[in-house]
Chains A and B, each alone.
Chain A
Amino acid sequence: MINASLKEMAAALAAKKISSVELTQLFLARIKSLNPDMNAYITLDEARTLAQAKLADARIANGDITPVTGIPFAQKDIFCAKDWRTTCGSRMLENFIAPYDAHVISQFDHAGAVNLGKTNMDEFAMGSSNETSYFGKVKNPWDRERVPGGSSGGSAAAIAARLCAAATGTDTGGSIRQPASLCGFTGLKPTYGVVSRYGMIAFASSLDQAGPMAKSAEDCALMMNVMAGFDERDSTSLQRDKEDYTRDLNKPLAGLKIGLPKEYFAEGLSAEVAKVVQDAIAHYRKLGAETVDISLPNTRLSIPVYYVIAPAEASSNLSRYDGVRYGHRAAEYTDLLDMYCKSRAEGFGAEVKRRILIGTYVLSAGYYDAYYLKAQQIRRLIAQDFEEAFKHCDIIMGPSAPGTAFKIGEKADDPVAMYLQDIYTIAVNLAGLPGMSIPAGFANKLPVGLQIIGNYFDEARMLNVAHAYQQQTDWHKQMPEGIA
């Protein structure tokens, strides 16, 4: 059952082969045995989780069933969930009990899904290895000396180790896709504005987007049906008709034009990863797709641009953590300024501080035009690169990350090397486009992800492209050793 698809789980629940409580207990038992080493979850609340499972069983008994009713999901600890401790991976919120539900959480609740627990993450989603979490490192189930990627590292490890049916994540610069690549599962970052950000703790507001992390494209499609949709509480939420993301899963791929950006296969990409990605693309040709060479000339600028815009927004978004109303407050202080300084110095980790400093710097009078304004101009150029590219192809493919999972500590002291982890994913966030990562094979026994980038609102098409591949390959079904 732990390796079953959401559809199979739903069928088993509907046929009463298993109850939601039993299914939930199955995962809770696995968490109990594996999580102490893996550290995928920050907060577990068995009583609350099982109460939800009981409610789901009652719904199922009444025939009030959605495709996710009774299925246990892991929630990234960036989403506020009423009465759950919600830490965002930070000491600042170590004791913060959210008094309200994020839109994503209430969508799962309304659908009758079960919340298994809150997953580990880089502090305030700032990181690519889950090493910045105040609640400790997360291990990659494929090799426990390695990182799971980040920032949604806890959700990633939970899926790879089958500690949940599926999980939610958020992606500001690659935080769903890079861990999906490093942990060998399917993750989707939707078009900006498709999933409401209400109740999702902000890192960089113009880039943050929640999305599904699951074992397959089909599972992601089912989760998108739960997560997506207009929410009036988020002004950047898009007012669009509700769509069924599973509708195109089985469309044939014949005639599909795949664009291959030359910048994504250039220096910096590991040869082994390149080979796996090229093999996957070759497979698509066999499925009837054709490939065209394209160029995204401003790709190299995406990291510098991102590291101006994201910290600028973050520096302001994190100002509310001042120790006044909630969150960490220093035990002793002499006056107001001292309280601010000590509380924030103690509550935030090094990477968060680094980004607050960068952000404050680029917004300062005299630097704003040279940094923030310039970055916004280049951001438009990056979006135009994609606009131009999509004139020549339907979908873009390339690697999700430049390499496979790296060793814990390997890049921890080199922020720039860490930032380069997101070289292939960041431009998608800057442009607001949807991006996916699907398992495409292994290099040195470590998973490699294929990135699929679609045009705005082309999620259903991307899921179709991913699903077609997953019908013919079994990379996505493989499990790490030692988790049974």
Chain B
Amino acid sequence: MQWEVVIGLETHTQLKTNTKIFSGASIKYGAEPNTQADEVSIALPGVLPVLNAEAVRCAIKFGLAVNAEIAPRSIFARKNYFYPDLPKGYQISQYELPVVGKGSLTVQVGDQEKTVRITRAHLEEDAGKSVHGAQEGMSGIDLNRAGTPLLEIVTEPDMRSAAEAVAYAKKLHELVQWIDICDGNMQEGSFRCDVNVSVRPKGTEKLGTRREIKNLNSFKFMQQAIEYETQWQIDTLEDGGTIQQATVLFNPETGETRAMRSKEEANDYLYFPDPDLLPLAISQADINAVKATMPELPEAMKSRFEQQYGLPAYDAAAITASKPMADYFVSTIQAFGGEAKQASNWVMGSLSAKLNEAGLEVINSPVSAQALAGLLKRIADNTISGKMAKDVFEAMWAGEGDADDIIAKKGLKQVSDSGAIEAIVDQVLAANAVMVAEYKAGKEKAFNGLVGQCMKASQGKANPAQVNEILKKKLA
């Protein structure tokens, strides 16, 4: 039987505010345990939550970025359960009326576009952390993270492969950084994905029973986890088994997923509206105020790059995949002043390859946009050939100086003096009578051989176009 996997994502993005969602305590990562736990974070008797307006602005920004409905009135609810790192015995979240409603995000999967529908996004507070093993036989609680603002973004079950799910997650990851509501740091838990996976016979409508893979904090693990989980579900069904709704964890060491609790043990969270917080009212004026601070979104920038710079759609999409990349490109173009396509080729090509290889972000590139523009100028004015430029770029990456320094130092300046080239060509023609005869007998390939000999004789410095031209003239 042909199977189809159905995937939906829930992503917890930690919002880039200075303070907690319901108190003035700092949310800085990495502080000594409990030094950022104020009376509200500890949930002392009598304390009350006060909503952080910046967190609301972040939610509105996200709503605008995915063309979603922003609720004029949303409600904070208490999700009640006991856990040592949950100081109040309930988490303040949003349940029935979330701040962000239906929206969508279009992602590129290979050469296909895929639109993923966003069901909702809601504000909530993070829990603290249990620390085991610091003291023999005891567990510690660190409440620094308790109350950190999160925006939980939920999709419809719209993805049909691990590749689609990862493409969506990557796009979302870029977007929340692009609009500056999340630092995107997956190692520190700023961006965590839960993935709901189910399978069904291809061509059928009814959704299969889903299992939720919790807390994936890398795209590689997400891909592996979904692939493993999908195959496990298919195997289970084909062996005549059934899928039980469950929460599962991915073990990166074994590459397997494993159920941590089944639905039977699932809690009744006793949700009810939090009487300590008023309904969150957002006016059109509030939305407009946030709109005024929004950066140009990737889609809009992509179209603009196509029109303004004449970039092909593929290039424009690749360049606008992240804000820092787009910024780098724009800086390069501005310093270069030449053909944009030339710049996008270099940014998408050599630069991206080197960055990937070194595991660097573009903002940390050893070759600045200005330096790359310097190189592009020397290509454009025929000082060096494209092939030589690759070597120059390598040297720039290695920190040997800017393009001009390296060209001068290595004597790589291209020979474009036609007199000098003519002399070389004459020399080559004289020394390679056999090839000349072959060419004249109609063997086109011999021409390339002659060009190669000329380049070799010039130690690669001769302008290849000029060599071609002069050779053709002399052999005519």
Instruction: Verify B270–A363 contact, CB threshold 8 A.
Output: yes
Encode contact with A along B31-59: 1 for CB under 8 Å, 0 otherwise: 00000000100111111111100000000
* In the complex with contacts A99-B39, A201-B45, A325-B42, A316-B82 CB distance below 8 A: no
Contact partner, B47, options A198, A336, A340, Cβ 8 Å: A198
* 8 Å CB interface, A131-167 against B: none
On chain B, the residues within 8 Å of A93 by CB distance are: 45
| Stretch with Cβ within 8 A of A (4 or more), from B85-93, B103-111, B243-251, B455-463 | B85-93
- Whether B46 pairs with A233 at a CB distance below 8 angstroms is no
Q: Which residues in B have their C-beta under 8 angstroms from that of A336?
A: 84
In the complex, the answer to whether A319 meets B44 with C-beta atoms within 8 Å is no
Contact B89 A319 (CB under 8 A): yes
Q: B-facing mask of A98-120, CB < 8 A → 1, else 0?
A: 11101000000000000000000
Please tell me if the beta carbons of A80 and B45 are within 8 angstroms of each other in the complex. Answer: yes
Shortest beta-carbon distance from B268 to chain A in Å: 5
Find B141's partner among A198, A235, A325 (CB 8 Å cutoff): A325
Evaluate contact between B50 and A316: CB separation under 8 angstroms. Answer: no
| Interfacial chain A residues near B44, Cβ < 8 Å | 80, 98-100, 326
Q: Is the CB of A80 within 8 A of B88?
A: no
Given contacts A205-B275, A360-B270, A372-B272, are A86 and B45 in contact (CB under 8 A)?
yes
Contact assessment for A319 and B82 in the assembled complex, using a CB-CB cutoff below 8 Å: yes
Contact B270 A234 (CB under 8 A): no
Whether the Cβ atoms of B88 and A319 lie closer than 8 Å is yes
> Across the interface, do B278 and A235 meet the contact criterion of CB distance under 8 Å?
yes
Complex Cα distance A322/B89, Å? 8
B80 at the interface (CB under 8 A from A): yes
Q: Are A235 and B46 in contact (CB under 8 A)?
A: no
Contact with A along B302-315 (1 / 0, CB 8 A): 00000000000000
Taking a contact as CB atoms under 8 Å apart, the answer to whether B272 and A319 are in contact is no
Q: Is the CB of B186 closer than 8 A to any CB of chain A?
A: no
Instruction: Give the complex CA separation of A301 and B271 in angstroms.
Output: 24
A416 at the interface (CB under 8 A from B): no
Residues of chain B lying within 8 A (CB to CB) of residue A233 = 48, 50
A295 adjacent to chain B (CB < 8 Å): no
Interface residues of B in 59-108 (CB under 8 A from A): 78, 80, 82, 84, 87-90
Is there an interface contact between B272 and A368, defined as CB atoms closer than 8 Å? Answer: yes
Closest to B24 in A: A233
In the complex, A336 Cα to B39 Cα: how many Å? 24
Pick the most buried of B44, B82, B278: most chain A CB atoms within 10 A of its CB.
B44
Residue pair A340, B275 in contact (C-beta under 8 Å): no
Q: How far is the CB of A91 from chain B (nearest CB, A)?
A: 14
Please state if B84 and A199 are interface contacts (CB–CB under 8 Å): no
Q: Is the CB of B88 within 8 A of A232?
A: no
Chain A 234-265 interface mask (CB, 8 Å, partner B; 1/0)? 11100000000000000000000000000000
User: B339 at interface (Cβ–Cβ under 8 A)?
Assistant: no
Residue of B nearest to A324 (CB): B84
Contacts of A235 on B, CB cut-off 8 Å? 48-51, 276-278
User: Is the CB of A123 closer than 8 A to any CB of chain B?
Assistant: no
Known: A319-B82, A363-B80. A234 touches B45 (CB 8 A): no
Q: In the complex, A363 Cα to B272 Cα: how many Å?
A: 7
Q: Is the CB of A199 within 8 A of B272?
A: no
The answer to whether B87 touches A325, judged by C-beta atoms less than 8 angstroms apart, is yes
Closest to B80 in A: A316
A320 and B89 form a contact (CB under 8 A): yes
Smallest Cβ distance from A88 to chain B, in angstroms?
A: 7
Which residues in window 292-337 of A have CB below 8 A to B?
A: 312-313, 315-316, 318-320, 322, 324-326, 336
How far does the Cβ of B246 sit from chain A's closest Cβ, in whole Å?
A: 19
A-chain residues with CB within 8 Å of residue B88 when the two chains form the complex: 319-320
Q: Is the CB of B48 within 8 A of A312?
A: no
Q: Which of A181-230 contact B (CB under 8 A)?
A: 197-202, 204-206
Chain B 287-329 per-residue mask, 1 if CB under 8 angstroms from chain A, else 0: 0000000000000000000000000000000000000000000
Let me know if A365 is at the binding interface, CB within 8 A.
Answer: yes
How far apart sit A198 and B357, CA to CA, in the bound complex (Å)? Answer: 55
B261-276 with Cβ < 8 A to chain A: 268, 270-272, 275-276
CB distance from B272 to the nearest CB of A (A): 6
Question: A236-B278, A322-B82, A336-B84 are contacts. A316–B270 as well, Cβ < 8 Å?
Answer: yes
Q: How far is the CA of A204 from the CA of B45 in the complex (A)?
A: 13
For the complex formed, measure the closest distance between the CB of B49 and the CB atoms of chain A, giving whole angstroms.
7
CA of A232 to CA of B42, assembled, Å? 19
A360 contacts across to B, CB distance below 8 A: 270
> Considering the chains assembled together, what is the distance between the CA atoms of A232 and B278 in angstroms?
13
Listed by A's residue number, 10 A-B pairs whose Cβ atoms lie within 8 Å are A88-B45, A93-B45, A98-B44, A99-B39, A318-B89, A319-B82, A320-B43, A325-B141, A364-B268, A365-B270
Residues on A facing B (Cβ under 8 Å): 79-80, 86, 88, 93, 96, 98-100, 102, 197-202, 204-206, 232-236, 312-313, 315-316, 318-320, 322, 324-326, 336, 340, 360, 363-365, 368, 372
Please give the residue numbers on chain B whose beta carbons come within 8 Å of chain A beta carbons, in ascending order.
Answer: 39, 42-51, 78, 80, 82, 84, 87-90, 141, 268, 270-272, 275-278
Enumerate the 7 nearest inter-chain pairs by beta-carbon distance, A residue then B residue, closest first: A319-B89, A206-B275, A205-B275, A363-B270, A199-B46, A201-B45, A320-B43
